[in-house]
Structure 1
Amino acid sequence: MLAHSQAQPRRQAAPENGPATLPSHPKSRKKSAIFSVSARRCPFSPASPLLSTFPTFQLPSELRRPTQPNPTQPKYLPLPRRLTATPLLAFRRLRLRVRPRAAPIPMSATASPHTSLLHLPHRPFGPRRPRLTRLRCLASLAPASSGASPENEDHLIQTLCAHGRLARAAALLQGLPAPTQRTYESLLLAAARAGDTALAAAVHRRLEADPVFRSDPFLSTRLIDAYAALRALPAARQVFDEAPVKNIFVWNAMLKALALADHGEEALACLSDMGRVGVPVDSYSYAHGLKACIAASASHVPASARVREMHAHAIRRGYGSHTHVATTLIDCYAKLGMVSYAERVFASMPDRNLVSWSAMIGCYAKNERPGDAIQIFQEMMASDADLVPNSITIVSVLHACAGVNALGQGKVLHAYILRRGFDSLVSVLNALMAMYMKCGCLEIGRYIFNWIGRRRNVVSWNSLISGYGMHGFGSESIQVFEEMIQEGISPSIITFISVLGACSHAGLVEQGKKLFESMVEYNVTPRAEHYACMVDLLGRAGRLDEAVELIQSMRIQPSPQVWGSLLGACRIHGHVEYAEMACSHLFDLEPRNAGNYVLLADIYARAKLQNQVDVLKELLEEHALEKVPGCSWIEVKKKLYSFASVDKNPQVEELQALIGEFVTQMKNEGYVPDTGSVLYDIEEEEKERILLGHSEKLAVAFGLINTGSGEVIRITKNLRLCEDCHSVTKFISKFTNREIVVRDVNRFHHFRDGVCSCRDYW
């Protein structure tokens, strides 16, 4: 440090040519050192009269310009401790370089007065001389001279491959008499990274003519991997068939290539051939085989049965609890929606790494269990301090936070992303933007979108379009779609789903029809999802006849989503005939979906057809179908709380009492409870009591009790917001002067001053 290390008297006498100095107390050493560094940047010379206005400080002697060369002067001045703790790159930028000079350099008339004070080395203007990099050094060893050794040529080819200079590396390969195994591997890996099929084929031809490595199973494995990455499956098959030596690594490479190409049946046949020829399978064989089960296209054997069979086979061979196999099992069960099986596999794992934890988090996030995903992420962070979440883990947790409107925990992840440097990854930024959009923070989401800049991809645009659409800003979604086209980004299938959904929530029927007709111009073939959006668009607007005509004119088979959109529109407008037509198809396509029965029963109940309601109840009991209970989530002080219609929370009585007070005041102003959604044939008072226990009402009351005045209450519900809860929430927002944001399965509702952003169009 620049401060003196020995204690000094309390007050020093002022020197003859300078002001008095402060004592060097141990507690003031750090401040003195910091000042010493800043003094070197002072724009005033020592003789400047302005320095006399600071009588308590004096430039340290180490920084005074020497009149004679001092051989003992250090080349680099030491830095304060707070600066030396910075990373190496920052240290190199901050360190102060001082070169002693024999004589002072005369200052020109245009020079700054502090130049002579700092003794900065003279650096001429103009471009810097380029440094001689390792690649340039090795380039000098190219076979331009006949004396270059083969070892140098091999090393040069490997370095060129690492730097992406594939054309130069391929040219050197032709003149190399005997490439090494490492050279072949470097060329194949570089060809796979760059997508250069021609280079991979050239290496393949050279290997066939090489008597040393022609039968090398390691290079055969690398060649199959390269062709698999290049989507050249026939060439990979040729390498496998012609390989003279086929060990387990060659078999696994071919199995992986078939699974990646979605040739599930062939991959499973390859796995069977391994056992037939006597090659023992290992953990990687089972992992690739499980992925092949998902990709298998045989309709007579469902993928779930194949995965369970492979799981049992792995257990018999002792690989059931292997980390790699178990992680792949969790991922497969997650894709099949078999969360309970994934939980059993995860619970039986003796060793869990970051990949296995991330797979389980993603399993919950993909299967609409975001609360469990956040909980297991917290368990992961508490289980092992060495587990550091990577970008894949962060993306899954961000999706979970968006699923339950956990804005506080999402902000904590945002800070973690900045600390870890994940903000350089577009995938992480897209997930972060989607999280803010789905939590109701449109401004922050748009800011992140603008900050991504030129790195924006189609996922970024889709997230912004979908975010605006969920909040009911259809015009803004269309504007973003037009900006996307102007930027030269080709819209995808998801893009049109997002923009058509935005038109549906905003009631922009004509704009939506034009966008649907323009899909052909962008080489996007309408799928069932797009027809479902159009049926929803027409149905919400009350144009049910057009919606039915569109379904009948479809060139593809209508999916459950299409008929479900029609059924939802019939519920809004109370159309019994079209509802029965939609359910006649839904009961065949989705016989285990209890929601279709409940929705039709709701339509019957509003139409006062109690007999049909009783028939549907009997069907539910006969097929042992359970209605999905309504559930709502609210985050208070970065802790997530969930409420169900049959919840036994200790505060339920207090919450219901608070809601009852609001309902009493609302009745005085003309409010009439909407009991049409209650399917039970009971008295009206009992129906009103059931309405008080709806999960969104409990969540709103919980937020009013446990949050401060003026704080926004954010709630997420897994079902559609019912009409009675919508009316009650509007009144509560006006009576309490609070902003309440509710996101249901379809869209956002911003309640403020008794008005909802949906304008009662949902």
Structure 2
Amino acid sequence: MIFNRSVYLIIFRRFAVIHHTNILAFFTSSVLINLGESMKKLIDKQKYQEALDLFNHNSTSISDVAISLALKALTCGDEDNACRIFCETKNKTPSAYGVMFKEPDSTNLVMLFNACAQLRNERALKIKNSFLNQMSKLFNSTNHVVNSFLNILIKFRDISSAENVFVQMKTKEIITCGIIMQEGKVGYVGKALNIFDHVEKPNKMIYTAMINSFGLNGMGHEAVDLYRRMPIDIHDEVTYICILNACSHSGLIDKAHSIYNNIKVKTERITTAMVDCMSRMFMFDEAQQLIDNFELSHPPGFAMYMALLSSARNHRNFILSEKVLDRMKKLFPKNKQGLIAGSVLLCNTYSSVGEDEQAKEARLKQLHQIGKNKIVGITWTAPKGEVVRFKAHDNSHPQSKEIYVEVARMSVELKENGHQYDSRWITREINDDENIESILCSHSEKLAIALNFIQQPIQNVIQVTKNLRICGDCHSAIELIAKLRQRPIIIRDANRFHHFDTSGQCSCQEHF
């Protein structure tokens, strides 16, 4: 991958803009221990685990105790917790730094720089300046160390030094890839593409990150065009999954077929992506045939059946849902949590077609299993730069009264323009003091949008994030709201981005 020197600062400044996110997560993943390996080591060292549990449940402010535990974590190979404990420890003494960094290997340097970036005190500033005077030595370290040091400079607003470091870095793939992914994940595809276009010779990571950004934002045709331009010899499993997902989210079933048929080694994850694509188009027989063919030479894959079950729920096909879930119970009897999720989908399918008694019976069977572990739908938005979260029927916000007045106003506009509230998206019993409209109007995404509309001035683009998939009624309502209010709305749900434009169309083209 080759960069023009003139574009280094363009890329870097985008990196600096998003520094308030967890930048280090982009860069230090290879330093961290694989979870499975880490768990095995912890099991082998029972006393350390007990100490760690005590620290997590009774976090101590005694620096020496915490630092000792951090050292023990390092000796156990648990760098992740070592770094966390060190960074969370308040009132660090000078000796604490000395103990942790007697031998400054790459792991310790990453930890030191991360701690300095978080503390941003006088001592951290001295450490930063000290390493600035030793940049030649620093560049002999791993790229993770240099990336971590870059994070300190940004946190201290030392942008000129950070730019110099970035220009001198030998490899910039991780940062560039991270920026493209970040921009794509927040819906700024144009900015991601601008970064991509300035890379003279994109490598596998850069191509795949851009394809994924297109896919997440419903730009399937652009993703396919880029995939066709990508050198065939650098395609890998992740590339295939990203392009198939892009086709899936844009309804490009023919292009997905063409791409899938030309993949020589069809892994479980690649096949799952194709099953998902077929299922979203309600091609259930074809999807089941693909699963059957895969299982002739491979063990069954749980995710394939979940893709089938999820789309059966969207199709409101409770007969197929029952068959799929019954097969899942036979094939994966030990996957308790997965089967609970499948049962919830079946309950929702029953509710969507008015089979209330079957839904109630299924819920009662699963209630003792789900307990408090059921995922609550939450929506986030930040109309004035401050993140606000909502649950359904939420009244916790200081402006709740105004929010619900705005929701009622939107509801009147929606009904006047032909919107009919769809009771099939209500997945619980309706209480005596409720009706279909009151339940659906109190969904968290509608509350978040209403909050944005009562702000002055209203943002040019309203942005909302939801931890679950958006419901069909909210999707239809928001398409109409964006058109009536002439305000673009972007919603990031559990699966993808939905760009609702002022014409009343969504980028997903109803493929959600």
Q: Structure 2-normalised TM-score? A: 0.72
**1:622 alignment counterpart:** 368
Amino acid at match of 1:442: V
* Corresponding position: 1:546 with 2:286: yes
Among 315, 319, 325, the residue aligned to 1:583:
325
* Corresponding position: 1:528 with 2:271: no
**1:247 alignment counterpart:** none
**1:760 alignment counterpart:** 510
**1:466 alignment counterpart:** 212
> Partner of 1:741: helix, strand, or coil?
strand
Is the 2:248–2:256 contact (alpha carbons within 8 Å) kept by the matching residues of 1? yes
> Shift of residue 673 of structure 1?
1.1
**1:696 alignment counterpart:** 445
Is the 1:560–1:589 contact (alpha carbons within 8 Å) kept by the matching residues of 2? no
* Corresponding position: 1:514 with 2:258: yes
Which piece of structure 1 moves more, 637-646 or 424-433?
637-646
Bigger relative contact order (CA 8 A; separation at least 6): 2
> Shift of residue 497 of structure 1?
0.5
| Cα distance between partner residues in 1 of 2:177 and 2:195 | 8
**1:569 alignment counterpart:** 311
Is the 1:598–1:627 contact (alpha carbons within 8 Å) kept by the matching residues of 2? no
> Partner of 1:574: helix, strand, or coil?
coil
Among 621, 625, 631, the residue aligned to 2:378:
631
| Per-residue CA distance 1:320-341 (angstroms, 9 max, x = gap) | 734444468796778xxxxxx9
**1:484 alignment counterpart:** 230
**1:715 alignment counterpart:** 464
| CA gap 1:418/1:656 in 2 versus in 1, 3 angstroms | farther
Instruction: Please give the residue correspondences for 1:348-497 in structure 2 after superposition, counting only pairs within 5 Å.
Output: 351=92, 380-381=119-120, 385-386=124-125, 392=147, 419=163, 421-422=165-166, 424=169, 425-454=172-201, 456-485=202-231, 489-497=233-241
> Shift of residue 729 of structure 1?
1.3
Among 675, 697, 701, the residue aligned to 2:423:
675
Unmatched segments (≥5 aa) in structure 1: 1-259, 261-287, 335-340, 363-375, 398-408
| CA gap 1:333/1:361 in 2 versus in 1, 3 angstroms | same
| Cα distance between partner residues in 2 of 1:559 and 1:328 | 37
Among 464, 485, 495, the residue aligned to 1:746:
495
Is the 1:293–1:303 contact (alpha carbons within 8 Å) kept by the matching residues of 2? no
> Partner of 2:387: helix, strand, or coil?
strand
Q: How many residues align?
A: 432
> Partner of 1:519: helix, strand, or coil?
coil
| Per-residue CA distance 1:507-555 (angstroms, 9 max, x = gap) | 11122122122221xxxx3222212111111111111011111112213
* Corresponding position: 1:501 with 2:501: no
| CA gap 1:580/1:395 in 2 versus in 1, 3 angstroms | farther
> Shift of residue 563 of structure 1?
1.4
| Cα distance between partner residues in 2 of 1:350 and 1:701 | 43
| Cα distance between partner residues in 1 of 2:353 and 2:166 | 55
* Corresponding position: 1:311 with 2:49: yes
> Shift of residue 628 of structure 1?
0.8
> Shift of residue 720 of structure 1?
0.6
Amino acid at match of 2:301: S
> Shift of residue 478 of structure 1?
1.4
Amino acid at match of 2:185: K
Q: Structure 1-normalised TM-score? A: 0.50
| CA gap 1:495/1:656 in 2 versus in 1, 3 angstroms | same
> Shift of residue 360 of structure 1?
13
**1:642 alignment counterpart:** 389
Amino acid at match of 1:570: A
| Cα distance between partner residues in 1 of 2:333 and 2:312 | 19
Max Rg structure? 1
> Partner of 1:321: helix, strand, or coil?
helix
| Cα distance between partner residues in 2 of 1:564 and 1:383 | 53
| CA gap 1:664/1:449 in 2 versus in 1, 3 angstroms | same
> Shift of residue 616 of structure 1?
2.9
| CA gap 1:731/1:701 in 2 versus in 1, 3 angstroms | same
| Per-residue CA distance 1:447-486 (angstroms, 9 max, x = gap) | 11122323x321111100101111122221111112112x
Which piece of structure 1 moves more, 712-721 or 683-692?
683-692
| CA gap 1:433/1:663 in 2 versus in 1, 3 angstroms | same
> Shift of residue 759 of structure 1?
2.0
Amino acid at match of 2:319: E
> Shift of residue 303 of structure 1?
6.8
Is the 1:749–1:756 contact (alpha carbons within 8 Å) kept by the matching residues of 2? yes
Is the 2:51–2:69 contact (alpha carbons within 8 Å) kept by the matching residues of 1? no
> Shift of residue 699 of structure 1?
1.7
> Shift of residue 431 of structure 1?
0.6
| Cα distance between partner residues in 1 of 2:385 and 2:243 | 33
Is the 2:217–2:498 contact (alpha carbons within 8 Å) kept by the matching residues of 1? yes
| Cα distance between partner residues in 1 of 2:417 and 2:476 | 13
Is the 2:379–2:444 contact (alpha carbons within 8 Å) kept by the matching residues of 1? yes
> Partner of 2:382: helix, strand, or coil?
strand
| Cα distance between partner residues in 2 of 1:645 and 1:450 | 42
Unmatched segments (≥5 aa) in structure 2: 1-29, 55-64, 102-106, 129-143
> Shift of residue 620 of structure 1?
3.3
| Cα distance between partner residues in 2 of 1:464 and 1:688 | 40
Amino acid at match of 1:631: I
| CA gap 1:500/1:304 in 2 versus in 1, 3 angstroms | farther
| CA gap 1:667/1:579 in 2 versus in 1, 3 angstroms | same
> Partner of 2:420: helix, strand, or coil?
coil
| CA gap 1:302/1:701 in 2 versus in 1, 3 angstroms | same
| Cα distance between partner residues in 2 of 1:395 and 1:615 | 57
Amino acid at match of 1:580: E
Amino acid at match of 1:479: D
Amino acid at match of 2:335: E
